[in-house]
Structure 1
Amino acid sequence: MIGKGKSIAHTGTSIEYGWNQEKDAEIVFSQHLAGTDPQEITEEFKLIQQENARCQKNTLSFILSPTVEDGKSLSKEKLWELSQRFIKEMGLKERQAIAFVHRDKAHTHVHLYVNRIGFDGKAYNDSFIGKRSQLAADNVAKEMGLTTVKEVQLEKELDSLKVRLKIKDIHHKVMESQRPKTLDSYIEAMQKRNVEVIPTINKANRLQGFRLQYEGHNLKASEVHRSMSGGRIMAQLSQNKGISKPKEVGKSVQLMGKTLEMSTNLAMGIAKNIIKKTIKRAIDTGIGY
């Protein structure tokens, strides 16, 4: 579960947003309040906030977002428990608060608003409130058996690793079996295997690298693997043409029927990789020994 928090000044507008019926809003938690509509709740907040006129951002706004799967199984009662536990973790039990669930999207999430001004007129210390909100959300998730943000991040990292390995495998199969000689033929061969190669064009309208899109992931080519940087891909295409010397590499490339200049960094990267492969080939064949 992800937890976000901040101090805000627009209390009424935020509570009206939370109550938005177009988002299938439903009150799932309330404490120290009697109002039955956004205006009444806002007025109750303001009565307490008048006790501390110096505090401008006098309402705390939190968003609690369980994972999509966890959200499907959270009843109104469980969302009340989730909100109540979070309030306790943040040390806000003795303040006015109201929470709404939004189910207008697949991702169920809770909007929680708490009066930053206590009944004693003192403002809640909102230092590092974003970080503290996430820590509190993690603790609540553990207590309720929900997925924590660390578990979500680990799952994303594992998913990304699987995708990167798939793309790398497809790239090597294309290079080994088809040995494309042009950028267009490489892009076409990758596309047939469901990998979209997206040229990256800089502000000077020069080709500086590539991004690869596959199964909903969009990655820089070098993020997939260091052997797939723009310079290395272009160097391999050049060598497939029979180019073995850096000076034979031009400063432009044909892409979809147009001539496109390459960035200085990309051109240098191609030259360096051609040199490295030439040296390696010489060592492997024993030339010069």
Structure 2
Amino acid sequence: MIGLSKSCNGGGALANYVLNENKGYELDRNLLCGSTPKEIVEEMKVIQDLNQRATNKTFSLVLSPDIKDSQKLTNKELKEIAQDYLTRLGIDPVKQQYVAFVHTEKQHKHIHIIASRVQPNGKLISDHHIGKRGQWIAHEIAKERGLVSAKEKMFENIKNIDQKKGDFKNLKTEIFRKHQSIVRANPNTLSNYIKAMDKNGLEIKPTINKQGQIQGFRVIDKGTKTDHKMSDINSSMSGSNLIKNGLKNDLGIPLDKTLQAVEDRQIHKLKTKTSELNTSLLKPLKTASKGLKPSLKNFNFSERKEIKTKEDYLHAIKEYKFIEEVVKPVSIINMDFIEARRQAGILKDYESKKELEKIEDSEKSEKEIKSNQNNLEI
């Protein structure tokens, strides 16, 4: 139950709102005979005029039980609660003018009370910390009557919020861990990234603006069915940072101005790096090829001459050394496939040459044996 209390100057506006028959019904009154809001205000004014110094001569009070409690409480119980509340605030329900009205227009019943702050002797009832006192009194009445207390509910809500915060923190950590793992695998495009996240139980949805452009992304955890902005999980998961990680937009939906500018900068950086890389590759090749024969400087990587003679073999060995000492170190960056294919071909030729040498040695040995035999016969 919630208790709201304040002192005010009262008047017709307050009375018309509280004593509105379309909102509910009258619960209780004391020392008042008027049948309309205007008449009740005028009756209170007679006593309130006994004090000419005060400005706020009226108490406006609200008692709002929990929705479940309000459905069970009878009018008798509501009246007892209202009078108990007045008494504990220092407002005598027997000697002081007041009217209590139950509002039923909302989901739960709640009590509005208009009470005169001026006593019959002209003295004022203290309104010192009336708001805080009203909250605490409502809490005490609720506990005594076995009703739901606003303070207890507040503590329960705080506990639930803390629990949810803890759960969300754990969820954020898990989502970010999966994101990092997928980004490290270099998915290259947004569609590949989205597919990989989907396999990990996370649905990624682009946020589309009124112009039909992508302005960001949201992630839905399939287990908990919770929906979050990607940037709320971690700033590195924002749309701009996804593009900075090298993910190209292949979703068939244009990017907004901000994301498009990021993608354009990434493309420019890539072109610049490629140009610098090509320059850095040519320099060591030119330096290392000095002193080599012209035919060896310009050998064709895609064609390989079949080894038939020792001259072919020596030429192949020079090419092999050139690849090992010059091409291989720099080709690791962007010519691995060329080097691997070339290496495989040369190694194959090298093995073929070994077989050729064995045959030649064997033929030479046979000739020497025959020559020795002829010498012996002579």
TM-score range, shorter chain: 0.5 to 0.7
Q: Distance in 2 between matches of 1:187 and 1:65?
A: 43
- Matches for 1:47-62 after TM superposition, within 5 Å: 47-62=46-61
Cα shift at 1:234: 1.7
Alpha-carbon deviations, 1:174-227, whole Å to 9, x = none?
Answer: 33345476897794323765434359xxxxxxxxx74xxxxxxxxxxxxxxxxx
Q: Distance in 2 between matches of 1:163 and 1:31?
A: 48
Aligned positions, number: 219
In the alignment, structure 1 residue 257 sits paired with structure 2 residue 285: no
Q: Distance in 2 between matches of 1:163 and 1:107?
A: 28
Cα shift at 1:21: 2.5
Are the structure 2 counterparts of residues 239 and 257 from structure 1 closer, same or farther at C-alpha, using a change threshold of 3 Å? Answer: closer
Cα shift at 1:166: 3.6
Matched with 1:22 is 22
Q: Which amino acid aligns with 2:220?
A: M
Matched with 1:67 is 66
Are the structure 2 counterparts of residues 198 and 74 from structure 1 closer, same or farther at C-alpha, using a change threshold of 3 Å? Answer: farther
Matched with 2:347 is none
Q: Contact 1:174 / 1:190 at 8 angstroms: preserved in 2?
A: no
Cα shift at 1:20: 1.6
- Matches for 1:1-289 after TM superposition, within 5 Å: 1-23=1-23, 25-93=24-92, 94-179=95-180, 187-190=217-220, 194-197=225-228, 210=232, 233-235=234-236, 257-258=255-256
The TM-score normalised by the length of structure 1 is: 0.65
Are the structure 2 counterparts of residues 108 and 198 from structure 1 closer, same or farther at C-alpha, using a change threshold of 3 Å? Answer: farther
Bigger mean CA deviation after superposition, 8-17 or 113-122: 8-17
Cα shift at 1:78: 1.3
Match of 1:127, SS state, is: coil
Q: Contact 1:7 / 1:58 at 8 angstroms: preserved in 2?
A: yes
Alpha-carbon deviations, 1:84-135, whole Å to 9, x = none?
Answer: 1101111101311111111111132211111011111111111111111112
Q: Distance in 2 between matches of 1:257 and 1:196?
A: 22
Q: Which amino acid aligns with 1:257?
A: L
Cα shift at 1:236: 6.5
Bigger mean CA deviation after superposition, 43-52 or 233-242: 233-242
Gap runs ≥5 in structure 2: 184-189, 191-203, 207-215, 246-253, 260-378
Q: Contact 1:31 / 1:97 at 8 angstroms: preserved in 2?
A: yes
| Pairwise CA RMSD | 3.1
Q: Contact 1:167 / 1:195 at 8 angstroms: preserved in 2?
A: no
Cα shift at 1:163: 2.5
Q: Which amino acid aligns with 1:160?
A: I
Match of 1:40, SS state, is: helix
Q: Contact 1:187 / 1:196 at 8 angstroms: preserved in 2?
A: no
Match of 1:190, SS state, is: strand
Q: Which amino acid aligns with 1:54?
A: R
Q: Distance in 2 between matches of 1:188 and 1:101?
A: 46
Gap runs ≥5 in structure 1: 200-208, 211-227, 244-255, 262-289
Q: Which amino acid aligns with 2:109?
A: T
Match of 1:39, SS state, is: helix
Are the structure 2 counterparts of residues 260 and 87 from structure 1 closer, same or farther at C-alpha, using a change threshold of 3 Å? Answer: farther
The TM-score normalised by the length of structure 2 is: 0.51
Q: Which amino acid aligns with 1:30?
A: R
Q: Contact 1:171 / 1:190 at 8 angstroms: preserved in 2?
A: no
Match of 1:20, SS state, is: coil
Q: Distance in 2 between matches of 1:28 and 1:112?
A: 10
Are the structure 2 counterparts of residues 242 and 13 from structure 1 closer, same or farther at C-alpha, using a change threshold of 3 Å? Answer: closer
Higher RCO structure, 1 or 2 (CA under 8 Å, sep 6+) = 1
Cα shift at 1:170: 3.4
Q: Distance in 2 between matches of 1:138 and 1:95?
A: 24
Q: Contact 1:29 / 1:84 at 8 angstroms: preserved in 2?
A: no
Q: Which amino acid aligns with 2:19?
A: W
Match of 2:235, SS state, is: helix
Q: Distance in 2 between matches of 1:77 and 1:169?
A: 50
Match of 1:85, SS state, is: helix
Are the structure 2 counterparts of residues 27 and 89 from structure 1 closer, same or farther at C-alpha, using a change threshold of 3 Å? Answer: same
Cα shift at 1:240: 8.3
Q: Distance in 2 between matches of 1:257 and 1:194?
A: 27
Are the structure 2 counterparts of residues 260 and 123 from structure 1 closer, same or farther at C-alpha, using a change threshold of 3 Å? Answer: farther
Q: Distance in 2 between matches of 1:239 and 1:15?
A: 59
